[in-house]
Amino acid sequence: MGTPKKTIYSFSEMFEVTCSLVAATSADIWDIPEGTIITMVLAKIKTAQVGAGDLIIGDDDDTDGYILAANAVVAVDTIYGDAVNERGPYLYPQGQSAPHSGKWKVYTAAGKELKIQQSGTATTAAVVDVFVFGYRYQED
């Protein structure tokens, strides 16, 4: 029989983020710890952006890896990421209904950040609650 090499813990985190008023400028949400597996990201509009534009959520490697072009000029409490077609390539692909297709993002080393970016012109930045779900592992 084998001996486990790591213990895995589930986590749920929530971050309140004010987007940048400067189009195409990303803001860091979270320094992703080494040994993190992100399985889902949701974004809830807390304060709608005034002006035109979208927001995307990703990381250093893919700016929209988690949430694709969500309209930031919408009603408060609108949630993105709960529908398959709103999810980026790190989660399961658009059009697939399976809850998991091997598309979770695994961070084996420190040095990556979860990021949000607002596009378009805005006179008031969106405020967004970002929910992150997944697992962390550590050496036993």
Residues 49-95 have pLDDT tens digits of 887 778 899 999 999 999 988 877 777 888 998 888 888 888 865 55
Domains in the chain, please, with CATH? 12-139 (2.60.120)
Which pLDDT does position 119 carry in this prediction?
Answer: 76
pLDDT in tens, 19-51: 877 767 788 999 999 999 999 999 999 988 887
State the pTM of this model.
Answer: 0.86
From the list 124, 130, 114, the residue with the least C-alpha distance to 42 is 130
| Region class of 103: left (phi > 0), else alpha (psi between -120 and 50), else beta | alpha
